[in-house]
Structure 1
Amino acid sequence: MKKLFLSCLFLLFFAVAQAVPAKSFYFTTSDSVKLYVRIAGEGKPCLFVHGGPGSWPKIYYALGGDVTEQDMTMIYLDQRGSGRSGGDDKTDYSLNRMVKDFEELREHLGYSKWLVMAHSFGGTQATEYAYQHPASINGVILVASTLHLKSSLESYIVEGARILNKPESEFRKEGASVGETLGKVVSQLNEQDLMYKVMYPKKEMFAQMNAVMDTTLNWHFGSKVWDLHEYEQDFTQKSASVKVPVLVVAGKYDYSVGPQHYRLFKFPKATYKTMATGHCPYQEQPEEFGKYVRKFVARLN
């Protein structure tokens, strides 16, 4: 009876020890912007850099990305002007300021080094961070990421026109910017309920993602970033100078950044994994995604 009791007690302790609850708090930057931070999981610390631009990290952890919390302590940061964080017309949204936010948060949490995982547009910011602060990072994970915004927008336009079964010339008007052209494509995709095809092979996945969105959140950065041309630079060129190990996970059917976009990357120590998914491999095939991340993290010092 005593042995049975001790066994049950051990199992109870083990279960409690495995269930580490997430914690959240606000971190104030050196220029007085309050940023929302959520920490969950156990293992090597990893900063998550969300995409959008201007979205929020719940898109990742609520749709299957939390599989990585089994192997890492995930630090989910709502970037300034995004999600639950502060940011308004007076806020500095420069790329250097974004990178400084990452570094200040690392110092605040007391990590000498951490991993950085980025999704979609976040790839540009994560690459710049690794370029500026290589001593702070022991690995980078890029998930369906763009490193050259114009290239990815072109993929969106080309595939959107194909889905609509219309010639690209119908959308490309002389003197129009890439953004204006994209806007016309997106408008028609929305009208015909075909937007999901740019991001996902399956429509239900798109519905799941939209269900996680929240229009009451702060979208200020997402509205201002298009006026900041530094985000338009070709970060694939800088990737050649990022010496830390990099895992690149790309979706075979991800036309929002381009299914072949990763071929432009020049990281010297990169591992590439192409999955039969669209823009959110962590949502579409979480077990396989988690396996690739786990294997990569296990190799790091």
Structure 2
Amino acid sequence: MHIKTSDGVTLYIEKEGAGVPCIYLHGGPGYWSKSFQHFTSEFLHGQLEIIYLDQRGCGRSDLAENGDYSLERLIRDIEEVRSYFQIEEWYVLGHSFGGLLAVNYTHRFPEHTKGLILTNSTLNMADSFTHQILKGQEWLGITEKLNPINDTSNIVNTFYSTVKQLIEKNLFYKLQFKTPEDEQRLGIIDEALSPQPDFQQYIFSNEEYFQDFTHLTAKVKVPTFVLSGLFDHSVGPRHQESFHFPNGIYKQLVSGHHPYVESPAEFSRAILEFVLDNN
């Protein structure tokens, strides 16, 4: 289905399952919700009613003709989705970049957030990009001392340069997956994804998104579940150690950046245990 935002952007949404409402916020930035739905639906839909949202400018949603991909606008989109479905209180589940949106939404609208679930989420993109760069250069055998990576433009340019070299060496998959086979399984679903670069280009060129949002974690009082991956070198396997949720529960899986692809049953079971304990 489609809904139109207050500034005229058409968002693609699917709502499936039965139980407690939960909105899923995908990563990327610039990805979509279809892959998460594909791999977890048989496990989650029995106890959660999940709203799968493709963020504006992503996946099957429309581009913003006014070019507004600001954090304030993305948070407003989420709240307008809640209002559209007349949901009083829901779980907010964010993966990767979607975790940054989830934390900001929850901080802004705690009265509508029953619980916060973060999986393999970055709340400091500069830190996560730096981890990817350093890990990638380690795999490439680059040992010379690096110049300080101290601004957004430098971080993004160095990231793209490192990624290009990793792709050439068939090593890029190691940032996100334990095995090339897991990458291939996700790739089959993503063959239907039409790239729309506007969103990602906006995010990667905007200082607003490269702030350190970990300071918000101490202010988020709702029950929070943080899942991380021991081999997640997209966010960093220790990135969650900078979070300070007052009511946080932390669990690390033996997975990469996409545990819902690598071990969907274990991943889903962990989420449902949190939800059941919180109800």
TM-score by length of 1: 0.87
Tell me, in whole angstroms, the C-alpha distance in 1 between the residues paired with 2:45 and 2:127. 32
Q: Percent identity?
A: 37
Segments ≥4 residues shifted beyond 6 Å: 170-176
Tell me, in whole angstroms, the C-alpha distance in 1 between the residues paired with 2:141 and 2:168. 14
Structure 1 match to 2:97: 121
Residue 292 (structure 1) aligned with residue 265 (structure 2): no
Residue 262 of structure 1, CA deviation:
0.5
Residue 109 of structure 1, CA deviation:
0.1
Could you report, residue by residue, the CA deviation over 1:174-232 in whole angstroms, capped at 9, with x for unpaired residues?
98711111111100001111111111111100112222224525342112112222111
Report if aligned partners of 1:140, 1:247 keep a CA contact under 8 Å in 2.
yes
Choose which of 152, 161, 182 in structure 1 pairs with 2:159. 182
Structure 2 match to 1:19: none
Report if aligned partners of 1:84, 1:217 keep a CA contact under 8 Å in 2.
no
Task: State the one-letter code of the partner of 1:179.
Answer: V
Residue 261 (structure 1) aligned with residue 254 (structure 2): no
Could you report, residue by residue, the CA deviation over 1:14-34 in whole angstroms, capped at 9, with x for unpaired residues?
xxxxxxxxxxx1011111110
Residue 286 of structure 1, CA deviation:
1.4
Matches within 5 A, 1:201-216: 201-213=178-190, 214-216=192-194
Aligned length: 277
Report if aligned partners of 1:158, 1:168 keep a CA contact under 8 Å in 2.
no
Report if aligned partners of 2:149, 2:155 keep a CA contact under 8 Å in 1.
no
Tell me, in whole angstroms, the C-alpha distance in 2 between the residues paired with 1:240 and 1:194. 36
Name whichever of 65-74 and 246-255 sits farther off.
65-74
Tell me, in whole angstroms, the C-alpha distance in 1 between the residues paired with 2:221 and 2:238. 22
Matches within 5 A, 1:1-301: 25-64=1-40, 66-167=42-143, 169=145, 177-213=154-190, 214-301=192-279
Report if aligned partners of 2:132, 2:159 keep a CA contact under 8 Å in 1.
yes
Tell me, in whole angstroms, the C-alpha distance in 1 between the residues paired with 2:236 and 2:150. 24
Name whichever of 175-184 and 70-79 sits farther off.
175-184
Report if aligned partners of 1:46, 1:74 keep a CA contact under 8 Å in 2.
yes
Tell me, in whole angstroms, the C-alpha distance in 2 between the residues paired with 1:85 and 1:287. 29
Residue 289 of structure 1, CA deviation:
1.1
Tell me, in whole angstroms, the C-alpha distance in 1 between the residues paired with 2:27 and 2:134. 21
Task: State the one-letter code of the partner of 1:182.
Answer: F
Task: State the one-letter code of the partner of 1:192.
Answer: K
Report if aligned partners of 2:9, 2:64 keep a CA contact under 8 Å in 1.
no
Secondary structure at the counterpart of residue 23 of structure 2: strand
Task: State the one-letter code of the partner of 1:70.
Answer: G
Tell me, in whole angstroms, the C-alpha distance in 1 between the residues paired with 2:242 and 2:235. 12
Could you report, residue by residue, the CA deviation over 1:247-283 in whole angstroms, capped at 9, with x for unpaired residues?
1010000011000000000111011010000001111
Secondary structure at the counterpart of residue 62 of structure 1: helix
Specify every segment of 5 or more residues in structure 2 that has no aligned partner in the other structure, as ranges: none
Question: Please, what is the CA RMSD of the aligned residues?
Answer: 1.8
Tell me, in whole angstroms, the C-alpha distance in 1 between the residues paired with 2:36 and 2:128. 20
Q: 1:65 to 1:153 in 2, by over 3 A?
A: farther
